[in-house]
Amino acid sequence: MNVLAIGRYASCAFDAYVPAEKQRVTELREEGFISDLFFKSDKSGPILVLNNTNRDEAQWRLATLPLVEAGFLAFEQLIEFD
C-alpha cells in the first residue's frame, strides 16, 4: 500500500525551520518512506508519495516533520493506493 499525502501550509513564516525540515525529509527519503516530493503550483503546500505504508502510519511518521510539529504544515488528505 502507498499513500498520497497532500499538505497545506498554515503560514509562510517558517524560515527558521527549513534546515531541520530538509534534514528530516532527507532521512525519510533515505529510509524509502518518501519516494516523491512535489510542490503545488500555487505554493500552498507539498504533495508526497509515500511507500509501503498505510494512512495511520503515514500520519504518525509525517508528524515527525518539524513544520508539522510547529504547526506550520498540516496534511489535509492521506489517500491510500496500490
Tens of pLDDT along 12-51?
788 999 999 999 999 999 999 999 999 999 999 999 999 9
Q: Which amino acid is at 3?
A: V
Assess whether pLDDT exceeds 90 at residue 3.
Answer: yes
Report the mean per-residue pLDDT for the chain. Answer: 96
Number of structural domains the chain divides into: 1
Which CATH number goes with the domain that contains 47? 3.30.70.1060
Task: State the pTM of this model.
Answer: 0.92
Assess whether pLDDT exceeds 90 at residue 5.
Answer: yes
- CA dihedral (20, 11, 40, 47) positive or negative: positive
The torsion of the CA quartet 30, 39, 78, 50, rounded to 10 degrees, works out to -20
What domain range is 16 assigned to? 2-81
